[in-house]
Structure 1
């Protein structure tokens, strides 16, 4: 029977990998104060006022996803870092799931590999989250959020729910490498 900490670690690994990847794909990292425009790492939305009612149109920067079409160098770096971190975190979740299936003799080694993968992914994602606001001073962002926008100052825009979800997912993923060290503890050892 697997340890309760092993089960918690596997479930948390899957949860944070899904949460961070979902956040990465959303265009709601920063929102205009009137909610007419929103910006993410790889996509954006804007209110199309050609219609009687404002219809929200969303898409990738430049039409199809291309790293070079992202309007800021800082956003391009954040895309590579945070997206790469999400990929590594998903790989760590896959390794964590495999730990339950492998024989007990190989469990410690697989757990160690998953833990190191999760540590690296967390550090990379933190770097991506810190670099992203540097792009708020780009001409593209200033056009929509005002001339007062600069690095770490969003002008007329506010932090969106997707950016906060990315921060919370990354913060929760910090517990995964810690939990993986205790996956071999038995139930009676935990409560004694």
Structure 2
């Protein structure tokens, strides 16, 4: 049961990360918005008439810090999606089918995905010094958005990073001492393993 909850949370966070990755609203003005991979523009006062574009390759992205941010965020999302799909397959498979149903390296993979997202959130504002950001935001510079406002895409990425950093803690096995024995609890296997205490 706990493994299913862990897998569902991982899959939900992978979807939230994908939403923030594709969002064109990390920073915005009244007529322009941009994210890591997409951007949109529209006439003043007519937000429904948007024209949006996508950076199709790293060469299209206008700044080196922006390129690093896009690569790191995409890598973090791929790690998150991989761990979520693998955990979901373990949770849904019949107990006799998988010989090893434990979490294995998944908490480490999820921690790496959360770290990649956090690194991306720190690197991306450096790209506010790029020509595209300066044209859109006026007096923007490194970690200063000028006339641009923080958009929902960046806030969603922050929310996703915070939740993803707690997710690996759910999967780590918990240990406690009971009458001279170490008991290892694993929420995924729903078994307790007794390990005799070694005399020193």
Is the TM value for this pair above 0.5? yes
Corresponding residue for 2:169?
Answer: 178
Query: Among 8, 11, 14, which residue is 2:5 paired with?
Result: 8
2:153 is the alignment partner of 1:158: no
Between the aligned partners of 1:151 and 1:136, the Cα distance in structure 2 is: 5
Tell me the residue number matched to 2:61.
Answer: 70
Take 1:77 and 1:183, find their aligned partners in 2: how far apart are those partners?
A: 37
Q: Which has the higher strand share?
A: 2
Structure showing greater radius of gyration is 2
- The structure in which a higher percent of residues are helix is 1
Runs of 4+ in 1 over 3 A off after TM superposition: 102-105, 184-187
Q: Offset at 1:122?
A: 1.1
TM-score with structure 2 setting the length = 0.80
Which residue of 61, 84, 90 maps to 2:81?
90
Greater relative contact order structure (CA < 8 Å, 6+ sep)? 1
Deviations 1:9-54 (A, max 9, x none): 111101000000111011011111x2x11001011001146xx956
**2:179 corresponding residue in structure 1:** none
CA change 1:139–1:91 in 2 (3 A) is same
Q: Deviations over 1:134-165 (max 9, x none)?
A: 0001111111111x210110000011001100
CA pair 53-160 structure 1, distance change in 2 beyond 3 A: closer
- Which residue does 1:190 correspond to in 2? none
* Aligned-pair Cα RMSD in Å: 2.0
Asked whether 1:132 is paired with 2:129, we answer no
Aligned residues: 174
Measure the CA separation in 2 of the matches of 1:98 and 1:180.
16
After TM superposition, the score normalised by the length of structure 1 is 0.83
> Could you list the runs of 5+ residues in structure 1 that have no partner in the other structure?
188-192
Shift of 1:185: 7.0
Cα distance in 2 for residues equivalent to 1:47 and 1:92:
38
Structure 2 SS opposite 1:149: coil
Gaps of 5+ in 2: 173-185, 192-200
1:143 aligns with 2:135: yes
Residue by residue over 1:44-72, the C-alpha shift from the partner in whole angstroms, topping out at 9 and shown as x without a partner, is 001146xx9562110114xxx01111111
